[in-house]
Amino acid sequence: MTDNPFFKTWTTRHGIPPFDQIKVEHYMPAFTEAMARHRAEIEAIAGSAEPPSFANTIEALERSGRMLGQVAGVFYNLCSAHGSDATRAVERELAPIMAQHSSYVGLHAGLFARVAALYAQREQLGLDAVQMRLLERKQLNFVRKGAALDGAARSRMEEIAARLAVLHTEFGQNVLHDEEDWALDLAEADLVGLPDFVREGAREAASARGRAGYCVTLSRSLIDPFLKCSPRRDLREAVHRAWVARGTHPGAHDNTQLIPEILSLRREQAQLLGYADFAEFRLADSMAGSPAAARRLADEVWPQALRKAEAEREMLAEEARADGLNTRLEPWDWAYYAERVRRARFAIDEAELKPYFVFENIQAAAFETARRLFNLDFVPCPDIAPYHPDVAVFEVQEEGRHVGLFVSDPFARVGKRSGAWMSAFRDQEALDGPVSPIIVNVNNFAKSNPTLLSFDDAETLFHEFGHALHGLLSQVRYPSQAGTSVRRDFVEFPSQIMEHWIAAPDTLRRFARHHETGAAIPDDLIARLLAAQTFNQGFATTEYTASAILDLELHRHPDPASLDVCAFEHETLARLGLPHEIGPRHRAAHFQHLFAGGGYAASYYAYQWAEVLDADGFDAFEQKGDLFDADLAAKLRGVLSSGDSRDPMELYQAFAGHAPQTGPLMRQRGLV
């Protein structure tokens, strides 16, 4: 196809994809050609008459598949952020094809033989530390994909991978279907008691769906403030029930029917590789090292979190009784009465705070934090055409030198997956010359005029920006070691430590400014905001930890094919003693971290593991008395720039000067 932009050299600024030229019909021909080229490259490496060397095998592998990476980078990013029925159809068609291609590479006997031969003689190859790590990781990845298995077992691994790819795609699309399918129309009378920013968000949500008036959709940035602010218990119940029911509706979009098969296939996969279950397999290659270690962290936090949550429940129940509620609290009551108690106890509420958290100002605060820590500047690029009018592109510079591009996609819309994430259209590398990264941050803030964020939204923006900095500051030679290509329970450390800077009083004074007057947030409001930081942490910690434990339990189940998913979920949470009024952060049927892909499968604990690191690491800045201490900032940059070229614990200790300790986490959450 001569008009297919994937078959041309891109002349766009800094090589950003030419979004305005790419059409849905370009994807399948581009994928077909890219996979064919990749196969030819693999066959050339595996079939070489030359004895295997680091250059002709490992580095050749690093160079292979570049067109495929380019096409996939565009397609999958846009499927998540700017999808349509047409792109979702392509995604379903591609799922087994891409899985088969991945298995072809990962299970290639001739290719693995060359890698294994190099691994066996690795000490005699004269490799530097980075090359040695790359070789060792290549060998391990081949083994974990099943390349060392016999022919029949290798074939079964390939079949499993292909089927899982289909199931993962169906799972994610089912959740998206339920999110797009549901909306609650609101009459003017239903808005009584809601702050202006919630009304404006509901109006924008209705407009985006072509409706008149107002509506609540299943966007977390609209759901959360509605549940906090609406005095209408019946409406809160309807919204909450719709939120937790995603993926559970009988029929074509029922994810409870997919989960047992996904779990069974993963368990079989693990057992083919010699592990008892999938959790044991997954965590063997992690900082934790085992499910037992991950569970120990959860068990250490759980009793204190549960005690705090139970005390919080009594406070909320007392507030509810004073409000005339004579029945027990329900899950749709918690956020509403927590907000009332927070207002009473700390003289602070969402409606008072939000006018100071204008999206553009908070993004500017993130950019300024990066400037002060890492000497980075974010320069707007209005001449670059993005893939949607809401999207903005920035050139990242250091002392005038090009570092990369940062793509900001902040607002919720139809066709966009819920949640927030960082991804890349291109990763940094320097194998054959410098290649700069093109990093994207996606959020789902409820768009309004102006867009006002909750403090949680502001923390989310800083969180994803931390991931972005991990990609932007990458300084590695080999593509597979770039940026966020690190172990799952380390990848959240850079993102979570960055959250701390939005709560810094200096940041708030400079950037939290009233959207109407431009006045800085008052010091007394900052003090009340920070004092309230440990409020409701029993709720936050238990809902998260319950999901992390549920994840591990699901992936350790001895007979997942027989699972009644909802019953198992209920029994597990009852055994933990999770209060009825709280519930897990994610129910299994819409737990996309686990089932819309394998990225966080048996690894959702990683956020808590990384929180130990981030609390301990930020404590080092606080101990210095300077949140922008140049020496510590340089050491933190060393973590972000190293990608997977060094062991994560080694990187952490080089930054913090000691092994991570749990004390700062427990203090941060008010659990001690």
Active-site annotation holder among 91, 368, 464, 611: 464
Q: State the pLDDT confidence band at 2, using cuts at 50, 70 and 90.
A: confident
- DSSP codes of every residue in 569-604: HHHHHHHHT--TTT--SS-GGG-HHHHSSSTTTTTT
CB 181 within 8 A of CB 251: no
Judge whether residue 12 has pLDDT over 90: yes
Judge whether residue 215 has pLDDT over 70: yes
What average pLDDT does this structure show over 345-356?
Answer: 88
What average pLDDT does this structure show over 46-75?
Answer: 97
pLDDT in tens, 259-293: 999 999 999 999 999 999 999 999 999 999 999 99
CB 16 within 8 A of CB 425: yes
What average pLDDT does this structure show over 82-94?
Answer: 94
State residue 269 phi and psi, 5-degree precision: -55, -50
Judge whether residue 1 has pLDDT over 60: no
What average pLDDT does this structure show over 469-496?
Answer: 96
CB 239 within 8 A of CB 184: yes
Over its C-alpha atoms, the chain yields an Rg (Å, rounded) of: 25
Tell me the pLDDT of the chain averaged across its residues.
Answer: 95
What domains lie within the chain, and their CATH numbers? Answer: 5-106+108-145 (1.20.1050), 183-245 (no CATH), 256-346+536-668 (1.10.1370.10), 354-534 (1.10.1370.40)
What average pLDDT does this structure show over 202-212?
Answer: 92
pLDDT in tens, 448-468: 889 999 999 999 999 999 999
Return the pLDDT at 90: 96
pLDDT in tens, 489-548: 999 999 999 999 999 999 999 999 999 999 999 999 999 999 998 999 999 999 999 999
**464 included as an active-site residue:** yes
Look at phi and psi of residue 274 and say left if phi exceeds 0, alpha if psi is from -120 to 50, else beta.
Answer: left
Residues 461, 455: Cα–Cα separation, whole Å: 10
pLDDT in tens, 244-259: 999 999 999 999 999 9
Amino acid (one-letter) located at 493: F
CB 481 within 8 A of CB 134: yes
